[in-house]
Amino acid sequence: MADHLMIAPVVLPLLAGAATLLLGERRHGLKAVIGVASTFALVGIAIALLVTSDAASDGSTSAIGVYRLGDWPAPFGIVFVVDRLSALMLLLTSILGAAAVVFSLARWHRAGAHFHSLFQFLLMGINGAFLTGDLFNLFVFFELLLAASYGLALHGSGVARVKAGLHYIVINLVASLLFLIGVSLIYGVSGTLNMADLAARIPEIAAENRSLLEMGAGILGTAFLLKAGMWPLCFWLPTTYAAASPPVACIFAIMTKVGAYILLRLWLLLFGEAAGEFAQFGGEWLLYGGMATIAFGVIGTLAAQDMARLCAFSVLVSSGTVLAAIGMGQVGVIEGVLFYMISSTLGIGAFFLLIELVERGREPGADVLAVTREAYGEDDDRDEDEDQVGLAIPVTMGMLGIAFIGCALMIAGLPPLSGFIAKFALLTAALNPSGMTQGGGSVPSASWALLVALILSGLAALIAMTRAGIRAFWAAPDRAMPRVAVTEMVPIAALLILCVLQTIQAGPVMRFMQATAHSLHASRDYVRAVLPPAEQQVRKAGGT
Amino acid sequence: MMEIILSLGIGALAGSGVWLILRPRTFQVIIGLSLLSYAVNLFIIAMGRLRTGAPPVLTTPAAGDPSLYADPLPQALVLTAIVISFATTALFVVVLLASRGLTGTDHVDGREPEP
């Protein structure tokens, strides 16, 4: 029974999505109940999987669960693999999903057809991509999550969404074709699609086929980098994310992390230390591409005219940081980046939800107007302020303001919230490649570059967020009071409380991240778990 | 000979597909995407090695020499890829029509370029 829990993150949303699809369009209540129940059940399942995968806590023995579909032996059938990283990403997805689905109950789930069905299918695709141990199966799950995301990006309709959605769909269809080319090249060279089998075979690839394999890996990597939003493949991202409806944008915050997850998993598995001549293949591309992404995102956050675009560019900064840190290829940096990935995704998700509440009371175009005023120095409403000294701040505005400060601290990475701890852990590891206790040793120049990029991106995020906050909360002369439902405030508060918990419990969380990073680097354990040694010997003896 | 013809075919399909994707009208883009997906499908088949007259499934109960048989896996992969690309193309057509209806133009940016 415990074994079958591994496939539940895929089966449960599939059933829930199908069930809501069969219900009539008018039965919003029942659909919402099914959607919410399924999403919260996913949180529970993810926690259970996380606890199971962390059972061997010393980090040496592998706690990798393998689920063979149809009980076919590994290289021939499809396997699902649950290790610490997968379970962690599952939990993150389901938490964001729960926040988004609760938020949508206030009004957004009625803005278009089949919101809950598409949402469940999206969760299914994301969970499947985190679980699968097979390259082609990964392609199928990617297509699933993309197909659902096309529908969700257009949710609520409108010219801006359809225009952004059109570009988003074309870009992702091209990326899927690149994905297929890469997968088939790798298959043509190595004769397998199973990730573990591939990792075992890569050191044995003949010299004349090496460039073909590198080409395949490069093309495949391009497809993932496009999803992860690396510069210069990221121009579609800010427009799409800023145009999407808030709950959808919140769950989209995890989608760039799907690309980053796959890179982390495949790159360390296929091109880790065990890969012989291929070790660290393409690492510099990740490092410098990631830094270019940070730079582009920073410029974007500073130039953004409204909060949704600001947040979309913060997504780019976040994924740039993750990519650059993966490119460093050190165990310690990976620990930090996992911590960073969790906290930045939670923060950005909460911010996407918050934006709509803050903007609700304002006239459309108020931001552009404010910028114009700044530029031309018009101060036409100076007099009104005199009467407002000592004005009581309404509770709603106070709540929104506190949530905004929380999001700003998370995104800029300032103390006391977990964004700071994440950046601190990342930089400590990058500057001390040999560990904190051993002083001395030269620091590679890449680490300095990463340090500068991270500090500058934090500063830029702080400036941009402060400016947006001042405009939204202090300098809006004639704003109507936003009416906010409890179901809209609770998810934001919950996400931020999770960030606070991550800060308070930083020790245990960090220990888990360390175990995760070490098991990621021990790629032999992964191979051994998926392909038991006995089977490997049989296969070798039979002649492959 | 077969290899040259197939690679020329893939090249022609992919080249015209890429050219069409870069055109400004949505209809050209969708035809370009279809051509590209044909090229990719042929490419996947080619990655399973080209050979004629070899059965893809074992014909006798005793497992013989696998090199006598065609690789069945790429064919299964192509089948999946065809289905998926068909579905996404259909979805794209719907979005294309919605965009045409909302913006009144078939330009990919939703508005005609300034002359």
- Convert the pLDDT of each residue in A391-419 to its tens digit: 556 777 788 888 888 888 888 888 778 88
Distance from CA of B108 to the nearest CA of A (A): 8
Q: Provide the number of structural domains found in chain A.
A: 1
Task: Say yes or no to pLDDT of B77 above 80.
Answer: yes
Residue A118 touches chain B, beta carbons under 8 Å: no
Q: What residue in A sits closest to B86 (Cα-Cα)? A: A173
Q: Which residues of A touch B84 (CB under 8 A)?
A: 140, 143, 176
Task: Please say whether the beta carbons of A411 and A419 come within 8 A.
Answer: yes
Q: Which residue has the higher pLDDT, A364 or A332?
A: A332
Q: How far apart are CA A30 and CA A44, in angstroms?
A: 21
DSSP code for A108: G
Q: Is residue A113 part of a domain?
A: yes
- Reported as a single tens digit per residue, the pLDDT across A238-266 is 888 888 888 899 999 898 899 889 988 88
Residue A248 resides in a domain: yes
- Identify any residues that bridge with A68 across adjacent strands, giving them in sequence order: A79
State how far the Cα of A460 lies from the Cα of A514, in Å rounded to an integer.
Answer: 30
From the list A321, A154, A312, A155, the residue with the least C-alpha distance to A236 is A312
- A539 closest CA partner among A82, A194, A209, A212: A194
Query: Helix, strand, or coil here: A327?
Result: helix
Answer whether residue A387 is part of any domain: no
Nearest to B21 among A165, A174, A180 (CB): A174
Is the residue at A382 inside a domain? no
Bridge partners, A81 (sequence order): A66
- Give the residues across from A134 on adjacent strands: A194
B19 contacts in chain A (CB < 8 Å):
none
Instruction: Identify whether the C-beta of residue A317 lies closer than 8 Å to the C-beta of residue A294.
Output: yes
Residue A58 has pLDDT above 80, yes or no: no
State mean pLDDT over A121-136.
Answer: 92
Is A536 within the bounds of a domain? no
| Cα A339 to the center of its chain, rounded Å | 12
Residue A127 CA to residue A10 CA, distance in Å, equals 6
Q: Is residue A369 part of a domain?
A: yes
Tokens linked to B62: 């005793």
Structure confidence at residue A535 as a pLDDT band (50, 70, 90): low
Q: Is A69 on the interface with B (CB under 8 A)?
A: no
Q: Average model confidence (pLDDT) for chain A?
A: 82
Residue A180 belongs to domain spanning: 3-374+394-530
Q: Give the number of beta-carbon pairs within 8 Å between A and B.
A: 88
How distant is the alpha carbon of residue A113 from its chain centre? 26
**Average pLDDT of span A147-154:** 89
User: By three-state DSSP, how is residue A67 classified?
Assistant: strand
What is the ipTM, given to two decimal places? 0.92
DSSP state of A470: I
In a domain, A286, yes or no: yes
Query: Cα(A135)–Cα(A181) distance, rounded to whole angstroms?
Result: 12
**pTM for this prediction:** 0.88
What does A287-321 look like in DSSP terms, one character per residue?
HHHHHHHHHHHHHHHHH-SSHHHHHHHHHHHHHHH
Tell me the pLDDT tens digit for each residue of A75-89.
Answer: 888 889 888 889 999
Residues A275-327 pLDDT 10s: 666 667 777 888 888 889 999 999 999 888 888 888 899 999 999 999 888 88
Q: Does domain B2-52+69-103 have CATH number 1.10.10?
A: no
Distance in angstroms between the alpha carbons of the first and the last residue of chain B: 49
Exposed, middle or buried by CB within 10 Å (0-12, 13-18, 19+), for A492? buried
